[in-house]
Amino acid sequence: MSDRRTISVTINGETFEREVETRLTLSDFIRHECLLTGTHVGCEHGVCGACTILLNGQTARSCLMLAVQADGQEIRTVEGIAPNDQELHPLQQAFQDNHGLQCGYCTPGMLTTLLEFLEENPDPTEREVREAISGNLCRCTGYQGIVAAALDAAKRLQAGA
């Protein structure tokens, strides 16, 4: 008989209460139980970073957590970045303006990672940006557009602050 628990997780301000198998990964919970499919899964062994979410404000790999571990915690995913349905967050806008994405598969992880990083380091160098996203693999862009977007976003965020 499978080991199950009822958990309650707040994602982007909305509370999801579900009964889940204790072995369910957090990434699968977010994607397949809460149907927030913006968070992607690319390796399920903690290397690609596509599954990066913000757990209580800090980035973490959701494929390396069990859903039960998030019980009572706050999560933010890519769906929770834009201020509303019409507008993009300055970081998202910078991605579009600098061709920071192609297939879009690594993008949610890049955005969550950079969101946290730019808060911590609002005026980063290119090297710092590259190291900040070193745990996020992108096979499409060669990172150039992503790095440009991050640097551009830093400027926009500072101007807006």
Minimal distance in Å, beta carbon 83 to ligand FES? 23
Residue from 8, 14, 46, 122 touching other proteins (CB under 8 A): that is: 46
125 binds, among other proteins, ligand FES, none (CB under 5 to 8 A by kind): none
3-state per-residue secondary structure call for 49-68: CCCEEEECCEEEEHHHCEHH
Q: Which of 7, 11, 34, 66 binds other proteins (CB under 8 A)?
A: 66
Contact 150, 133 (CB under 8 A): yes
> 81 — phi, psi (to 5°)?
-95, -45
**Binding flag, residue 42, other proteins (CB under 8 A):** yes
- The residues near 101 (Cβ < 8 Å, ≥ 6 apart) are 95, 107, 110, 140, 141, 145, 146
Residue 122 makes contact with other proteins by CB under 8 A: no
**Given the complex with ligand FES, which of 8 and 144 has the nearer CB atom?**
144
Shortest separation between residue 148's beta carbon and ligand FES, angstroms: 14
Residue with tokens 């640097």: 151
